[in-house]
Structure 1
């Protein structure tokens, strides 16, 4: 997505294996790859010249062929609840957003994996923006590295702009760098990746990653879910759950289902029954989420009383249920509100 200022590639976001290939092509000692990864991901080098234990030859070759690829956010908005929304620039007047959510016991960053999204969910501002581009692993990780609160982060969720499993190669690469001992060495239990359920990619994600998994459900009923989420026409929620049943996730890896509460649509006793039947015997939890109205949408949110009743009924059925606290709504940083469409429009208007 983001373009170098020259024809050079970006160094940040390369895996150890990719660095080893680069080092070998330069005729440098093999250990140089590990030195570079240390500077990129452990020592947070700002420039190639900062990599002082590399030979002058190595630094010269790297500088001739690569830029670092680390970009600071260009704008920040702060909510009255402490949530911050960071804007990162991209090429051709494109932008992405990341949301920093501080709580007493954790500090979470919600990162984007694409510019826009192809999936067209009825309730999502990013979907209304349409799809512009995939992010590279470096661009995903840059959101984590480049905010001022980077060192404070306890958790990262891939729940920002885009469908992570629609950009699976780069998402998996970013997860490798984030969790590898030569990278940031995070526990995968600090990471949660959300998906609407692209089944082929879902299987690969489960097998190649140890991160937690969140599935966007929003209705247990096919026809209703189709109206909310076009993906239901391709991969049904039953098929997604059947795939989950094939794997042993162990006791530490968590599966959760995201469920936005829509007033008079998916918040009835019939839905409690449908969810209970769908998830019968599957070790998981459900997160109930407030709907944040978006322009042009006929949807409205459930009342707090209805949401609480819905939660209580699911809990009585033995399903661990949480009502997720809404954060950053006043700066459009809450669930489903991330979009840079109007910003792109404004930038284009100002360029004339």
Structure 2
């Protein structure tokens, strides 16, 4: 028999309702499981007797297990290989920061140590971006709500998580219902993450973007734009053919009008493809009427899978300068983390049997 994760929120609420059990017990069950990883259901105090038998017959505290934990040399990044109940695996990455380092506006930063978790939403990905190792896997399956939330459960036992970014394996908006429900769990008791500390990244699934603000308010939207014109987008992101740039920008304009929030723009720098001065000006003009933060991402090589090169530092700096000085767009260059454990942007891939393993590559950790 296949058991469901106790964090599959809609399923456990339905089961409790049908059994006449008060659903208000569910958050306290979640809290106990988070604090007691290997618990037995009967150990949870003060539940109705019907709840114990229901939990035992249909649910597991966690349906996934951490198969391996790999720390980067500098101990800043940790990659978790998580094995699912069906035998498939996904990866999640913890990135640690100290916000007191450096200055903001010429003044010392406030705050202190914090951790961001990069979460996967699918096994593999059907978008096929040519610069991303995950895309080389193809699409295998969607994760359930519980399998998404369990990544946070596992990571929280290694580091206190303040931020969550859906920038791991898969296209989050292609697993829309599970994504929305998982975020609702993460922002409720016992996790209580602030929606403003959660970022959903997408290649631009227009129909889902049109629904997103109505279903999830105050979260951050990040768009993997990666090119300022449609033909280059289609060359490096085959899925872009289904989402024409003009229609995507119209959708983003409507989203921003409703949400009144900045949109994060992710832009991977590919040498000689999208990193010339003309591309910077095209990008600046495209985004001139938006409130955005552009995050320039140095390309992480992915071995024989990739035909691309990494843009030189001078090119990246010039690109950033044009966007800042000519268009007054806040532009950052992503700090690379976890390259030595293949946990950096674009490097997440599960090596499957009977396939030549690529060198791993990619997650996207916005400086939130």
TM-score between both structures, scaled by the size of structure 1: 0.89
- Structure 2 unmatched ranges of 5 or more: 100-113, 358-368
Q: Which moved more, 1:127-136 or 1:39-48?
A: 39-48
Is contact 2:33–2:61 with CA below 8 Å preserved after alignment?
Answer: no
Q: Counterpart of 2:46?
A: 53
CA distance in 2, matches of 1:344, 1:79: 28
Per the alignment, in what secondary structure is the counterpart of residue 327 of structure 1?
Answer: coil
Q: Counterpart of 2:341?
A: 331
CA distance in 2, matches of 1:119, 1:291: 18
User: Which of 215, 219, 226 in structure 2 is aligned with 1:218?
Assistant: 226
Count of residue correspondences: 335
Q: Counterpart of 2:323?
A: 314
Is contact 1:94–1:344 with CA below 8 Å preserved after alignment?
Answer: no
Is 1:190 the equivalent of 2:197?
A: yes
User: Which of 77, 81, 89 in structure 1 is aligned with 2:83?
Assistant: 89
CA distance in 2, matches of 1:27, 1:336: 46
Q: Counterpart of 1:350?
A: none
Q: Counterpart of 1:230?
A: 238
Q: 1:281 to 1:69 in 2, by over 3 A?
A: same
Is 1:129 the equivalent of 2:137?
A: yes
Is 1:73 the equivalent of 2:66?
A: yes
Q: Counterpart of 2:362?
A: none
Per the alignment, in what secondary structure is the counterpart of residue 257 of structure 1?
Answer: strand
Q: 1:343 to 1:212 in 2, by over 3 A?
A: farther
Q: 1:258 to 1:284 in 2, by over 3 A?
A: same
User: Which of 38, 56, 60 in structure 1 is aligned with 2:28?
Assistant: 38
User: Which of 81, 89, 93 in structure 2 is aligned with 1:99?
Assistant: 93
Q: Counterpart of 2:282?
A: 274
Per the alignment, in what secondary structure is the counterpart of residue 65 of structure 2?
Answer: coil
User: Which of 271, 276, 294 in structure 2 is aligned with 1:263?
Assistant: 271
For residues 77-127 of structure 1, the C-alpha deviation after alignment (integer angstroms, 9 at most, x for no partner) is 111232111000125542100011111123111010000000100101000
Q: Counterpart of 1:3?
A: none
